[in-house]
Amino acid sequence: MLKKFTGLILLLIITLIGVYILTEKEDTLYSRVLRLHVIANSDNPSDQALKIEVKDAVVKMMNQEFDDLDNAEEARSKAIQDIPKIKKAAEQMIASRGYDYPVQVSVGDSQFPSKTYGNLVFPAGQYQAVKVIIGEGEGKNWWCVLFPPLCMVSSSDKGLTLNSSKEAKVSLKCLQLIPHGVKVHLSRQ
């Protein structure tokens, strides 16, 4: 009887340790990144194109702001401090294209689906994010990772891809900051 009880206790302890390790690993990922979520006014092709231009402007500005930061908490604090700058960058891009959509910017928890950026897979879950809503915010949205800097400024809607050195230049610091828990899919083509 004592052997069964000891075995049951040992099994329970091992299970709890495993759950703790898995939970800690996921929490580490979710707490080590700051994501970007840009929502278009509508699904109209011109609104979708505008969304990408707003994303490009915000990413360019934030990459400069995050240049000397070392962790996601610093990035989150900087993003909160920069909400007026983010809003202004988005509004200027919108106005330069002849639109007068209002812009809402917030920083906080957002639910994200599982998302693949080239060879990197971020699991679904609650992440800290800078959210930019253009106009009515009823269009398709665009996600990326602002910190570490995995958003590539481009005119496409592809997000991050690491399949071509022409499309992305990843610094050593960026590689060091890729969060634990991100799955990397390597495929031979």
pLDDT tens, position by position, 14-27 = 665 554 544 444 45
Decide if pLDDT at 37 tops 80: yes
Q: Tokens standing for 182?
A: 């991100």
Share of the chain above pLDDT 70, in %: 67
Would you state the pLDDT for residue 181?
52
pLDDT at 116 over 80: no
Cis check for the bond before 149: say yes or no (omega within 30 of 0): no
- Mean pLDDT check: name the lowest of 33-47, 60-74, 126-140, 159-173: 159-173
Chain centroid to CA 66 = 14
* Per-residue model confidence (pLDDT) at position 27: 52
Contacts of 34 (CB under 8 A, 6+ apart): 72, 75, 76, 79, 127, 128, 129, 130, 145, 146, 147
Per-residue confidence band for 10, with pLDDT thresholds at 50, 70 and 90: low
Least confident of 33-47, 61-75, 91-105: 61-75
Cβ pair 76, 57 in contact under 8 A:
no
Which residues contact residue 164 at a Cβ distance below 8 angstroms, ignoring those fewer than 6 apart?
none
Given a cut of 60, whether residue 146 has pLDDT beyond it is yes
Give 92 or 171, the one with higher predicted confidence: 92
Give per-residue burial for 147-178: e unless 16+ CB within 10 Å, then b. Answer: bbbbbbebeeeebbbeeeeeebeeeeeeeebb
Residue 158 confidence (pLDDT):
44
Q: How confident is the model at residue 133 (pLDDT cuts 50, 70, 90)?
A: very high
More confident residue, 32 or 11: 32
pLDDT band at 172 (very low <50, low <70, confident <90, very high): very low
| Chain-centre distance for alpha carbon 91 | 21
pLDDT for the residue numbered 178: 53
Cα–Cα distance, 93 to 2 (Å, whole number):
72
SS (H, E, C) 123-146: CCEEEEEEEEEECCCCCCEEEEEE
Q: What value does the mean pLDDT of the chain take?
A: 76
The pLDDT of residue 156 is above 60: no
The arithmetic mean of pLDDT across residues 135-157, rounded, is 75
